[in-house]
Amino acid sequence: MRWVPFIILVYVVLLVQTTVGKMLTFPRTALGTVGPDLAAILAVFLALRLRDGADLAIAAWVLGLAIDLTTGGQAVGPMALAYVVAAAAVLRVREAFFRERIAAQVFLAMIFCLLAHGMWVTIQSVLTPSAGRSWGLYWQMLKQAFALAIYTAALMPVGHWALRKCERFLIAPQAGRSRGARGMR
């Protein structure tokens, strides 16, 4: 993993996600506001490409923290934890898929988003003061998370294609064939 280019890319993703990326958001739907999680696309790409599990977990933590810091939730930290868990899950199952297949990218992005955002919504709801907490609101946010997962998964092939173009700047060449995940066990 090349950490300096990675941090620059995280910064760019964050900028896009909080400004121009909002052009991709649908503000008024039956499920509430629905938009993609562009950082999740980068995390899934790394989960498909990185061989070292520890590198992946640290990268996922950084991405999750970046999202936490730019989202007005009840706490900073839940998304960092959720991204690490979701990245570990994708790392576990990735050997069962052909990662160049679009269907595999879409499916894994959806799994990642459902896990990460499901966890985030749950933790944030638990941390919300009881006056503002309700099952109705929790259910609505879960539905939003589901819509976000589908939307992000739909954008995953495009993101994967774009990130493949700059893969050599992000990931150092790795010798030998991949034999599954290392370092997370």
Partner 1 sequence: MSLLGRITKRRTLAALIALSVVTTVLGHPAASRLQNLLSPLLAPFRDVGMYLTVTMRQNMEAAGAKGLTLQEQEKLHNELDTLRGYTAYWKHEAEKTQEQLDALQKFQKSYSPVKDLPCELIPARVVGEASLPYTQERSLNVGQDGGAQPGEWVLVTDRSKALPSGLAVVSASALVGRVTGAGAFSAQVQLVTDHHFKTAARIRRIPDPGHPREIRLTAEGNARIEILNEKNNRPIDVQAAGDGAGGLTIADVWRYDNVQPGDLVVTAEDKFLPLEVRIGRVQEVRPDPMHPDRVIIAVRPEADLSTLRNVFVVNNLPEHISRSAGGKK
Q: What is the contact surface with partner 1 in residues (CB under 8 A)?
A: 11, 14-20, 22-23, 25, 27-35, 37, 39, 52, 54-55, 57-58, 61, 64-78, 80-81, 84, 117, 121, 123-124, 127-128, 132, 137, 140-141, 144-145, 148, 183
CB of 100 to partner 1, least distance (A): 28
Q: How far is the CB of 27 from partner 1 (least distance, A)?
A: 5
CB of 103 to partner 1, least distance (A): 26
Query: What's the rounded Cα separation, in Å, for the pair 74 and 68?
Result: 10
In angstroms, give the least distance from the CB of 38 to partner 1: 9
Closer by beta carbon to partner 1, 27 or else 96: 27
Q: What is the dihedral of CA 53, 40, 116, 180, to 10 degrees?
A: -20
Nearer to partner 1, 86 or 104 (CB): 86
In our burial notation (b when 16+ CB lie closer than 10 A, e otherwise), range 111-129 reads bbbbbbbbbbbbbbbeebe
CA distance 98 to 117: 25
